[in-house]
Structure 1
Amino acid sequence: MSEINAILFAVLAALIVAMTSVAVRIGTEKSRSSDILAVVVIVNLIVFIPLAFLIHHPNYGLTSRSVGAFIAAGIAGTVFARSLYYEGIRHIGASRAEPIKASNPVLAAIAAVILLGETLSIEIIIGILMIVAGVALVSVEIATHKERLKGSWRGVLITLFASFFYALDPVFNKMGLEEGTPILVGLALKATAGGVVFFAYLWWSGELPKL
């Protein structure tokens, strides 16, 4: 893949993520954040599992390391990161939650250095500082309007925790992909692991969505 194509895909992904944040904000106005995540998980399962089976059967390229990595990514990224992020949006809105969630590259860079032995370039360090500055501006905005945004600090903390788990997701993904496992197979495994854990929790807590 050329550098230009990579940039275009990154921009497209950013646009889709932005649209998702707004959609979640609209959805959580009348529904629980867990209901929204349940729909997302089901859609992921419907899309990725058949595609992985049709395209890569019978050679799925799985190893014990890639299976463990994608299961961890599914639990961290799908269950913890998304559930906390959607709850954060419910508290402080998409326009504030998204910049805070964007701090996850900071944590991802640190995790990559520790777990994968990667190094930080000056460009990455500058980008990290800019992200930190953006999060600081959001915090100042909330502090300035603390009466109007009563309870927002809880939303900020929830979103920061979401950012932490979002940061772990790409690290686990890279570990799985380095084993040679195809992307669609990894996504299907992530969706399955996340779905099993998430719906098991909803069943245990008696909060399964009512049809």
Structure 2
Amino acid sequence: MGELYALLAAFSFACANVMVKKGAKSKTDDNGAFLSVLITLFLAGFFVIWRGLFHGWVPLNIEGIWWFVLAGILTAFMGRTLLYTSIQHLGSVRASAIKRLNPLFAVILGILFLHESLNIWIIAGIVLIFCSSAVLMYESLLAAKRKKKETDDLQIPALQEAALDEADQKQHKWFEKIKILAGFGYLYGIISALSYAVGYVVRKEGLEEIPDPYIGTLIGAFVGMIVFFILSLFQKRYRRSIQSTFKRFRPWLFGAGIATSFGQILYFAALTQSGVSQVAVIASTDVIFTLFLSSIVFKTQEGVTSTVIFASIAAMAGAGLIAIG
């Protein structure tokens, strides 16, 4: 049964990816991240109450709550907000492939802080994920060079270029590449994957203290909502995102919030019945589901190329090898 839950979780995450792309315009302040956090809050709250009434209430402690609070900042706010922003700019397929950096970061964290060892499977998985991400970024850099209008603001006048010495020219070229990658959402996706990786480690510590994933999800979503409200006091884009959530109904973003929330719940359900490696391998198929839904079902017009398909499959295979290792 755990394998079925993991497959359903992968499908839910894929649906969320595509729905965000359908519902969020590239230049809008509201990409549905805040709405998604609210939906997760209410759904997790429902499951906490249902489980408490029919199966008993899980005892709480301060240490476990603080672990879940930190996990909420890293996953419900940083991870999800940056993932949605990455999808908004990159498209669902590319962002989903970049999201597979998550297990790579998890392995690196395990090696650095938990003194875990490497083996041939993990090394092969790391290489595959790294190559898939590098290929996608390289493709975007080439596309940017072919489209002058996308790089006009990154170019400097010819006279200024001539005045630069060789060292300055090299530094400027690297700066251009970083800005291009940031503009296409790759940096958002990379930081999101890192936030999720650290957040999952932190959440695991919380589950050791309070063995109830629904409570952890509830606390995390509540913290994510509070962070949104605090930042809205200082930044207009967060304020506009919150206002937009309550002012008008956006069905695609609402559907994305539902799908993300159920995906998270199904993922935890899978972990309660199957091993971590099995769940991780099956859940990594969200890349393939996203590719299928984007191209065949929802037709999001993302310009899926053979390079993107190769990178998506390589990323999924890499995640599977890491899980097996």
Q: TM-score range by the shorter chain?
A: 0.7 to 0.9
Equivalence for 1:43: 39
Cα drift, residue 107 of structure 1: 0.8
Cα drift, residue 47 of structure 1: 0.8
Would you say the 8 A contact 1:106–1:128 is kept in 2? yes
Change (3 A) 1:131 1:37: same
Would you say the 8 A contact 1:22–1:94 is kept in 2? yes
Q: Equivalent pairs: percent with the same residue?
A: 28
- Of 3, 15, 25, the residue aligned with 1:7 is 3
Would you say the 8 A contact 1:48–1:187 is kept in 2? yes
Alpha-carbon RMSD across the aligned residues, in angstroms, is 2.4
Change (3 A) 1:47 1:138: same
Change (3 A) 1:119 1:6: farther
Secondary structure of 1:178's counterpart equals helix
Equivalence for 1:28: 24
* Alpha-carbon distance in 1 for matches of 2:70, 2:117: 23
Change (3 A) 1:115 1:177: farther
Cα drift, residue 150 of structure 1: 3.4
Change (3 A) 1:133 1:6: farther
- Of 201, 214, 231, the residue aligned with 1:201 is 231
* Alpha-carbon distance in 2 for matches of 1:114, 1:63: 29
Letter in 1 for 2:181: W
The 10-residue stretch of structure 1 (79-88 or 150-159) with the greater mean CA deviation from structure 2:
150-159
Residue 14 of structure 2 is aligned to residue 18 of structure 1: yes
TM alignment of 1:1-211, pairs within 5 A: 5-29=1-25, 32=28, 34-56=30-52, 59-146=57-144, 147-148=146-147, 150=150, 152-154=180-182, 155-206=185-236, 207=239, 208-210=242-244, 211=247
Change (3 A) 1:115 1:68: farther
Letter in 2 for 1:205: Q
* Alpha-carbon distance in 2 for matches of 1:187, 1:110: 25
Q: Which protein shows a greater Rg?
A: 2
Cα drift, residue 56 of structure 1: 2.5
Scaled by the length of structure 1, the TM-score of the pair is 0.86
Indicate the structure whose relative CO is greater, using CA pairs within 8 Å and at least 6 residues apart: 2
Would you say the 8 A contact 1:100–1:156 is kept in 2? yes
The 10-residue stretch of structure 1 (86-95 or 55-64) with the greater mean CA deviation from structure 2:
55-64
Cα drift, residue 120 of structure 1: 4.0
* Alpha-carbon distance in 2 for matches of 1:34, 1:72: 24
Aligned pairs, how many? 207
Would you say the 8 A contact 2:79–2:193 is kept in 1? yes
Change (3 A) 1:134 1:120: same
Scaled by the length of structure 2, the TM-score of the pair is 0.58
Change (3 A) 1:51 1:87: same
Letter in 1 for 2:25: E
Letter in 1 for 2:150: K
Unaligned runs of 5+ in 1: none
The 10-residue stretch of structure 1 (94-103 or 118-127) with the greater mean CA deviation from structure 2:
118-127
